[in-house]
Amino acid sequence: MEAFENKLNLIKERIKDIEKPLILELGVKEGRSTKMFLEVCDQNDGNLISIDVLDYSKVSSNPKWKFIHSSDDNFEYTNQFIEKKVDVLFIDSLHEPNHIRKVFYNYFNFVKVNGLIFIDDVIWLPYVKDGYRDNDFIETINRLTFNKILEIFNSNKDNFTLDMNFSASGLAIMKKIGNHLNNEKKIVNRLFSLKNILKKFYKPKPKN
């Protein structure tokens, strides 16, 4: 709980000075992020659109909030509600790398140049064996998500910046700087290449 609140505070600090922001939130859950975003909207005369497959329409009655009851990858339905470019995109719905890839590529198109994108739960360190949140499944899925984000960034360094916050389950922080996304580019890991493996066993003898 405290770790998530810290991440929300980090996000709030990054967006608090945006005038009349339009914020798009994928995933409402208990509404903690929703309420934080609405605080910013109230302060800066902004608006929030939230999308979730579960019905969280009663989380708030704030007139600055529009809730869309839908899966966030039902683009034919959800895209029609986004009538102008958004300043902030927050992705915290289904934590699965292919889903994140899918929604990222769709909703990136709706983000303004210089707009901010946040993706929650991208770090695996707390979940490793004997870690304080030891959990094999979450470790694996967060590792895969982290790698997927790096693959997307690997072919899009001219389209967005990327910072990784390693607190708790982590947060990817991006700034959009280009309008077109290229397909992700696999990153070849040479750590376990035959050449590097052989180096471990066949070290050159020191010269006399």
Residue 169's CB is within 10 A of a number of other CB atoms, namely 21
Widest CA span in the chain: 80
The Cα 68–Cα 34 span in angstroms is 13
Q: Tens digits of per-residue pLDDT, 181-200?
A: 999 988 887 776 666 666 66
C-alpha gyration radius of the chain: 20
Sequence spans of domains, the chain: 2-183
pLDDT on residue 193: 62
Q: Tens digits of per-residue pLDDT, 77-135?
A: 999 999 999 999 999 999 999 999 999 999 999 999 999 999 999 999 999 999 999 99
Q: Break the chain down into helix, strand, coil percent, rounded to 5.
A: 40, 20, 40
pTM of the model as a whole: 0.91
Residue 198's CB is within 10 A of a number of other CB atoms, namely 10
Q: Tens digits of per-residue pLDDT, 13-40?
A: 999 999 999 999 999 988 999 999 999 9
In sequence order, what DSSP letters do the residues of 69-123 get, joined into one string?
ES-TT-HHHHGGG--S-EEEEEE-S---HHHHHHHHHHHGGGEEEEEEEEEE---
* Identity at 28, one-letter amino acid code: V
CATH number among 3.30.300.20, 3.40.50.150, 3.30.230.10, 3.30.465.10, domain 2-183: 3.40.50.150
The Cα 47–Cα 69 span in angstroms is 17
pLDDT on residue 50: 98
In sequence order, what DSSP letters do the residues of 23-49 get, joined into one string?
EEEE--TTSHHHHHHHHHHHHHT-EEE
